[in-house]
Amino acid sequence: MLYREAGEFKSTYRADQAILTIRQDRWFMWALLVVAFLVIPLVSSEYWLGTIMLPFLILALAALGLNVLTGYAGQLSLGTGGFMATGAFAAYKLATAFPELHILVVILMSGGITAGVGLLFGIPSLRIKGFYLAVATLASQFFLIWMFNKFGWFTNYSSSGVISAPPMSLFGDNFVTGPYATPEAKYLFTLTLVVLFALMTKNLVRSNIGREWMAVRDMDIAAEIIGIKMLPTKLKAFGYSSFLCGIAGALWAFVYTGSVEPLAFDVNRSFQILFMIIIGGLGSIMGAFLGAAFIVLLPIFLSNAPHWFGLNIAVDMISHIEFMVFGALIIFFLIVEPHGLARLWQLLKEKLRLWPFPY
């Protein structure tokens, strides 16, 4: 019995309310952070850092945002891409209009602006629910992308259509965006932000506001009767969720791709992030990360795996397989395990806790 909570009697509520109450879980988390901050930047190739870890972290942040809204507060949204685009364009406008602004200020402000837009689109959620709300958020997705394409003001009237994020540094010449930024700097910068926001989100969902979100999700009329106000509670979910999605969009455009283009945030992006939280686990912080890892890594795995086995499969076949695997998994998780990979991980731990004795 290496993994157990027995003998770890919690003598204070403070200890019992900690994020990770089991000692081994805490070790695991610290180990994970050491690996993420020290080992990965040392051992990873530029390719891994720049094209796998970066999008993974940024998409995990967006998935975290959507999971607050959909997984915790129960408001289904298909507008994630639109909110990410809002963050990206807000960052672009801020960074070009006020070049002296620090990158952190730019990113936080774009999150704030996106939160405002999210609040606006969240107002109808008081009246419409479920399927109709999903359609309304889908409409906001199309509207936002149309707006960014339509009005030249957002792209500073660039004629080429390609707009690049300006180089910006954290301090001195430690650039985190633009051509001078190293993959390590970009990775560590993004990782730090994502870890901080994940911690913040965990704090919210284990506090009163998180319980209010889940209460609204599970039974809104009972929630109202114990004094929870619908509109502010839902709007806080929309606001905070779009805040995170906006920051993810800004990071995507500035740190990852280096260019701001609406196409990166089309409706496919919204669905991709929704699939992440379905596969990773609705209403779980870790689920956002597991789902993002899964969806980023699966295509890479599928395109490499045949070679390992000496098979030769055509590229278009691989993309067909990818679609089929996603489809099957999503149906599986929706029907069998709505709490996703995070729940499977939980079950594994429960088994481990009892091991080697079955009872």
Partner 1 sequence: MHERKLGEVVLRVEGISLSFGAMRVLNNISFDVRQGEIRSIIGPNGAGKSSMLNVINGVYHPQQGTITYRGVTRDQMKVHHAAAQGIARTFQNIALFKGMSTLDNIMTGRNLKIKSNMLQQAIYWGKAQKEEIEHRKKVEEIIDFLEIQAIRKTPVGKLPYGMQKRVELGRALAAEPELLLLDEPMAGMNVEEKEDMCRFVLDINDEFGTTIVLIEHDMGVVMDLSDRVVVLDYGLQLADGPPDEVRANQAVIDAYLGVSN
Residue 227 gets which letter from DSSP? T
CB of 91 to partner 1, least distance (A): 22
Nearest distance from residue 243's CB to partner 1, in Å?
11
Return all residues near 60 (Cβ < 8 A) that are at least 6 apart: 194, 276, 288, 289, 291, 292, 293
Q: What residues contact residue 65 under an 8 Å CB cut-off, 6+ apart?
A: 80, 83, 240, 241, 242, 243, 244, 245, 248
Q: Which of 102, 229, 307, 351 binds partner 1 (CB under 8 A)?
A: 229
| Contact status, residue 293 vs residue 275, Cβ threshold 8 Å | no
When asked if residue 347 is in the footprint of partner 1 (CB under 8 A), the reply is no
| 90 alpha carbon, distance to own chain's centre | 19
- Which residue in 93, 186, 217, 343 binds partner 1 (CB under 8 A)? 217
| Site for partner 1 contains 208 (CB under 8 A) | yes
Measured from the CB atom, is 35 or 199 closer to partner 1? 199
Distances (CA, A) of 48 to 52, 56, 198, 288: 5, 10, 22, 20
Q: Which amino acid is at 338?
A: P
Q: Which residues contact 7 (CB under 8 A, 6 or more apart)?
A: none
Distance in Å, CB of 50 to partner 1, minimum: 31
Rule CB under 8 A: is residue 228 a binding residue for partner 1? Answer: yes
Of 50 and 283, which has the nearer Cβ to partner 1? 283
**Looking at beta carbons only, is 49 or 107 nearer to partner 1?**
107
The reply to whether 174 sits near partner 1 by the rule CB under 8 A is no
Per CB under 8 A, the list member of 25, 184, 224, 266 interacting with partner 1 is 224
Task: Give the interface size with partner 1 as a residue count (CB under 8 A).
Answer: 33
Handedness of CA 119, 124, 130, 135 (dihedral sign): negative
Interface residues with partner 1 (CB under 8 A) are: 12-14, 16-17, 200-201, 203-204, 206-212, 214-215, 217-219, 221-229, 236, 240, 283
